Amino acid sequence: MLLAVSSDQEFFRETTERFLVEQAPPNEVRRLRGDSSGFDADYWRRGAELGWTSLLVSEDHGGGTISGAGLVDLSMVAYEFGRHASPGPLLPTNVVAGALSARDAQTEVLAGLLAGTEVAAWCAPELAPALGAWAPTVDIRHDGAELVVHGAARPVESAGQAGHLLVTARDGDGLTQVLLPTSASGLSIEPLRTADLTRRFAAVTFDDVRVSKDAVVGVSREASTDVELQFHRALAILNAEAVGAMQAAFDMTVEWSFDRYAFGRPLASYQALKHRFADMLTWVEASHAIGDAACLATQEGSPDAAELASAAKAFIGQYGAEVLQDCVQMHGGIGVTFEHDLHLFLRRFTVNRALAGTPAEHRQRIGAILNGREAAA
């Protein structure tokens, strides 16, 4: 979350925080573990009324921002989602809504996403090391007035709860994106298991799914730029959630260290723990900074947006894991119990760390970016 925010942004963040505290406390998150959707439909609709789904959508399509920088505003919502391990398809719905708005496509579906009455999911291509390079697992071929979609994508967040899927597919030498209803013939969705208690993922298979060319979002074979932006937006949301989880776990552990006594003294008074807390605070603050920088670069279309996005994902993924594991260790035995809240943040962070590329994959991507820059020079 940005270190300096406007009064309107702070009000928006506080409103989101109060709503999540009231509607998705830890006991509710635990209860949703056995829920097939992972979130309540009315809860999501009310969140949409607060503006959760409109921040990447233009005013012409019914959207709007708080500050004029929609992705930055959305990162504040994502931060609170991470800080409370909250349920809801925040990432997929916003990525798809932003894509539809930018291409003035499927406005009826977009209206449902804005109202919170419909959910959409993104079948994204796999990450490739080079900038602008992707490894789609879905293919499209042209058959007269129709497109035939074949392949599989996994993991796809909220696919089982979605009414439509935005599918990024290989189309000859380019990329094409199509919006498919989940009821399409030949499309099957198989739920996957996940460590997160409320988010649901699935494997989606396309067995020669036929669709009209009107389903194309954007221009056939020219979706690479759109996919790059969608990917960077997804990273900004994931990073903000991860930092929120880190902050919540760190604050909880600091409070615990002052309340918990050993040998007549609070744990926080021991020098070894003080040094470890100093390391953890450094990593948390640095994660805030690099996550904010990457989000802002994506919002502004900066030339270094790709590099910063991968740098943030790699840094937060590596050092956030250190923070969360240390928090568990400092809590002792209670830190590994289901009844304690700490594991909620560990679960959220662990899944986020693996999505959209691991730290190692993003370091490789950074290397490819720097090599390409050096070659061009």
Question: What residues does each domain of the chain span?
Answer: 7-118, 121-215, 224-376
The pTM for the full model equals 0.96
Q: Could you say which DSSP state residue 125 is in?
A: P
pLDDT at 139 (0 to 100): 97
CATH number corresponding to 224-376: 1.20.140.10
pLDDT at 374 (0 to 100): 76
Q: Which of 195, 197, 232 is nearest to 311 (CA)?
A: 232
Average pLDDT, whole number, for the chain? 95
The contacts of residue 299 (CB under 8 Å, 6+ apart) are 69, 70, 71, 72
pLDDT at 132 (0 to 100): 66
Question: pLDDT class for 265, splitting at 50, 70, 90?
Answer: confident
Evaluate if residue 22 carries a pLDDT over 60.
Answer: yes
Residue type, 117: T
pLDDT at 322 (0 to 100): 97
Tell me the mean pLDDT in the region 289-301. Answer: 97
Question: pLDDT class for 1, splitting at 50, 70, 90?
Answer: low
Q: And the tokens for 162?
A: 């979605």
Architecture label for domain 121-215: Beta Barrel (2.40)
pLDDT at 33 (0 to 100): 95
Q: What percent of the chain has pLDDT over 90?
A: 88
Q: Could you say which DSSP state residue 336 is in?
A: G
**Antiparallel, parallel or unpaired: β 120-123 and 164-171:** parallel
pLDDT digits (tens, 9 = 90+) for 6-19: 999 999 999 999 99
DSSP assignment of 55-71 equals TTS-GGGT---SSS-HH
Tell me the mean pLDDT in the region 214-242. Answer: 97
Evaluate if residue 310 carries a pLDDT over 70.
Answer: yes
Q: And the tokens for 220?
A: 């056939």
pLDDT at 99 (0 to 100): 98
Indicate left, alpha or beta for 200 from its phi (over 0: left) and psi (-120 to 50: alpha).
beta
Q: And the tokens for 161?
A: 């709860």
Tell me the mean pLDDT in the region 294-322. Answer: 97
DSSP assignment of 92-116 equals HHHHHHHHHHHTT--HHHHHHHHHT
Please count the other Cβ atoms lying within 10 Å of the Cβ belonging to residue 195: 13
What CATH class has 7-118?
A: mainly alpha
Q: Which of 251, 249, 273 is nearest to 261 (CA)?
A: 273
Tell me the mean pLDDT in the region 289-317. Answer: 97
| Measured distance CA(137)–CA(126) in Å, rounded | 7
pLDDT at 225 (0 to 100): 95
Q: Output 373 or 223, whichever has higher pLDDT.
A: 223
Question: pLDDT class for 260, splitting at 50, 70, 90?
Answer: confident
pLDDT digits (tens, 9 = 90+) for 138-150: 999 999 999 999 9
Q: And the tokens for 269?
A: 């008074």
| Measured distance CA(127)–CA(239) in Å, rounded | 16
pLDDT digits (tens, 9 = 90+) for 46-88: 999 999 999 999 999 999 999 999 999 999 999 999 999 999 9
pLDDT at 128 (0 to 100): 81
Q: Output 376 or 320, whichever has higher pLDDT.
A: 320
Q: Output 129 or 345, whichever has higher pLDDT.
A: 345
Segment 48-55 long-range contacts (CB within 8 Å, at least 24 positions apart): 48/113, 48/114, 48/115, 48/116, 49/116, 50/15, 50/16, 50/19, 51/12, 52/16, 52/77, 52/88, 52/90, 52/94, 52/116, 53/93, 53/94, 53/97, 53/113, 53/114, 53/116, 54/97, 54/114, 55/94
Evaluate if residue 118 carries a pLDDT over 70.
Answer: yes
Kindly report which listed range (199-208, 249-258, 267-276, 300-309) carries the lowest average pLDDT score.
267-276
